[in-house]
Amino acid sequence: MHSDADANALHARVADAAVRLPGATPAETYLRADLIVKAALGAGADAVHPGYGFLSENAGFARAVLDAGLIWIGPPPDAIEAMASKTRAKALMGLAPLDEADITAADLPVLVKAAAGGGGRGMRIVRRLKELPAALESARAEAASAFGDGEVFIEPYVEGGRHVEVQILADAHGTVWPLGTRDCSLQRRHQKVIEEAPAPGLSDGLTQELYTLAVRAARAVSYVGAGTVEFLVEGDRAHFLEMNTRLQVEHPVTEAVFGLDLVAEQIRVAEGRALDTTPPRARGHAIEARLYAEDPAHDWAPQTGTLHRLALPPGVRLDTGYGDGDTVGVHYDPMLAKAVAHAPTRAEAIRRLAGALETAVIHGPVTNRDLLVRSLRHEEFTRARMDTGFYDRHLAGLTSPAPDPYAPLAAALADAHGRSRFGGWRNVPSRPQTKRYLIAGEEHEVHYRHTRQGLTADGVRVVQADARRVVLEADGVQRRFDIARYGDQVYVNTTRLTALPRFPDPAAQLAPGSLLAPMPGTVVRVAEDLTEGASVRAGQPLIWLEAMKMQHQISAPVSGTLSALHVKPGQQVEPGTVLAVVQESPSRQASS
């Protein structure tokens, strides 16, 4: 099935048959149980697989499928109902959430968490008591948008814990397989970024305890099918978090280690087949990295645009919903692909995946590729000493731009190749050609000359230069650069550059204090009583944007006056749109 926004998506193109769900937003399409059941019946299907998200943990949807006479490839609706709400799941395991009215400063930090769904939506860490009301409000709004259910709850937040989970597979005859552990501690916005199986560094005793708890949770609700039981591990202690009554996005690492196809196993279980009494043996180690169209250096802002090229070297598994030339839109999650490496040892799997990502061809929106490579090679990760606060500690260092210093020159020389010598001629030898490029938000200027000997650059010998390849020699070493160009976007090996105009348009200059949209999306909220001329303080939340199932808060950069407000709730904006202008107070300007 596909929404209108996904009409030309890869999953619709490769399917034998595709059924349209009219609309574009999740609420209009993938969250409409009635439309999905109607589509399944109209297509002559006999079963429904719910996928990874949206309605996959919705008991009402499961019942609607069964009531229509279709097979539900998932757990019984009663099991979903018992575990899909994290509050009910905790009660089933003998745990209770915190009461909002009873929380004091001594309870901090706490975690506000959506009762339904997953993927980090509707989660907020609260470290100051005065931030709790706003965190509850924003978490409820995000949860309602992502899952159609705005219920949230509060639980203690464990600092320095690891996110460890157990994959289970159960049949209708009473057999439950615990299919190993996974570590998913590297997260952003409480959403997993890098996952691996098995979870490294766990004692045998703790591993067996996790297996026992996971099987107990499954048996408590007469579970059938694939599911995941999640824990927060603190030292040698395990804290139950939740049970996901669906297949997780990170399931490929378990498949690689156990040699299984979990989707095929789900279908077999739904057909009534019995599992063997013992699960298969694990072999080796597998690591998965989620490739996102996002900018980690700018608050993980999701990115949109054309994905011109996505190719990884052989030896790794690539699960993707995009093909070359596809458009990354604003309606859904910004994940482009999952790259999975399997090897006999953890160290080999790390090297294989990091190397594949480093040399991957990714031409299109800004991605988290460099962050993934640096994360995989970070000492805390390679030594298995990571926890869920990894990016809180290391993000700045992992996102510091380190572009190839010769990339701008290679781009300029490739662009200049083939042009008339007189097109680049200067009657003053001291005035070279100048090109400007933007790399990771920083401007780089390069100079070269057209001479009788061809293109030259100060201090660098140009061995070869054409539109697709440049070879330079510096300090006696030759280096090759492959060039790809899409409009003003230039890719030099893996470095992404934006060609800047020679003469900037004066009309494009922004007023000081302009607040720009960091991503495409919808304005979902403007601060109450916010009008032009109002006084604002530094850090005060002003505008909320929503895109790709995430909310992004725009705050005042300085204290001063709101001199302009250009947007209102419901308005669609593009990246770089001026949302508002904050004029810094004169007293502050004078002091600075």
Which pLDDT tens digit goes with each residue over 410-430? 999 998 875 644 445 555 555
Query: What pLDDT shows up at residue 120?
Result: 65
Write the DSSP string, 319-334: EES--TTEEE-SSS--
pLDDT over 90 at 39, yes or no:
yes
Which pLDDT tens digit goes with each residue over 466-492? 999 999 998 889 999 999 999 889 999
CATH 3.80.10.10 given to domain 509-591: no
Write the DSSP string, 369-392: HHHHHHHHTSHHHHTT---TTHHH
- Give the number of other CB atoms < 10 A from CB of residue 205: 9
Query: What pLDDT shows up at residue 4?
Result: 94
**Most confident by average pLDDT, 20-29, 62-71, 119-128:** 62-71
Which pLDDT tens digit goes with each residue over 238-262? 988 889 999 999 999 999 999 999 9
Query: What pLDDT shows up at residue 422?
Result: 46
Sketch the domain layout of the chain as residue ranges.
2-75, 94-156, 162-399, 407-499, 509-591
Mean pLDDT of 208-213: 96
Local confidence band at 16 (pLDDT 50, 70, 90 cut-offs)? very high
Query: What pLDDT shows up at residue 428?
Result: 58
Mean pLDDT of 329-348: 94
CATH 3.30.9.10 given to domain 407-499: no
8 Å CB contact between 258 and 224 = no
Mean pLDDT of 440-450: 84
Tell me which architecture the domain covering 162-399 has in CATH.
2-Layer Sandwich (3.30)
Considering only residues 98 and 16, tell me which one the structure prediction assigns the higher pLDDT. Answer: 16
Weakest mean pLDDT among 49-58, 139-148, 270-279, 368-377: 139-148
The first and second tokens of residue 424, run together, are 């680049």
The first and second tokens of residue 378, run together, are 């970070």
Weakest mean pLDDT among 105-109, 126-130, 394-398, 541-545: 105-109
* Residue among 60, 96, 57 at smallest CA distance from 80: 57
8 Å CB contact between 240 and 93 = yes
Write the DSSP string, 439-488: ETTEEEEEEEEEETTEEEBTTBEEEEE-SSEEEEEETTEEEEEEEEEETT
Query: What pLDDT shows up at residue 175?
Result: 97
Which value, in Å, is the radius of gyration of the alpha carbons in the chain?
26
Query: What pLDDT shows up at residue 509?
Result: 65
Tell me which architecture the domain covering 94-156 has in CATH.
2-Layer Sandwich (3.30)
**Of the options 3.40.50.1370, 3.40.50.12500, 3.40.50.20, 3.20.20.450, the CATH number for the domain spanning 2-75:** 3.40.50.20
Considering only residues 43 and 509, tell me which one the structure prediction assigns the higher pLDDT. Answer: 43
Please give, one letter per residue, the 3-state secondary structure of 50-85. Answer: CCCCCCCCCHHHHHHHHHCCCEECCCCHHHHHHHHC
Local confidence band at 157 (pLDDT 50, 70, 90 cut-offs)? confident
Which pLDDT tens digit goes with each residue over 107-155? 888 888 887 766 567 778 888 888 888 888 888 888 887 777 788 888 7
The pLDDT > 70 percentage for the chain reads: 92
Which residue shows structure tokens 């480093």? Answer: 358
- The C-alpha atoms of residue 289 and residue 381 are separated, in whole angstroms, by 13
Weakest mean pLDDT among 56-65, 191-200, 309-318, 395-404: 395-404
pLDDT over 80 at 557, yes or no:
yes
Considering only residues 285 and 103, tell me which one the structure prediction assigns the higher pLDDT. Answer: 285
Query: What pLDDT shows up at residue 475?
Result: 84
Local confidence band at 6 (pLDDT 50, 70, 90 cut-offs)? very high
Q: Pinpoint the alpha helices (H) of 196-342.
A: 204-220, 251-258, 262-270
Weakest mean pLDDT among 31-35, 38-42, 509-513: 509-513
Local confidence band at 559 (pLDDT 50, 70, 90 cut-offs)? very high
User: Has this prediction a pTM greater than 0.85?
Assistant: no
Collapsed DSSP state (helix, strand, coil) of residue 296? helix
410 to 9, 460, 494, 537: CA distances (angstroms): 34, 11, 13, 45
Query: What pLDDT shows up at residue 326?
Result: 95
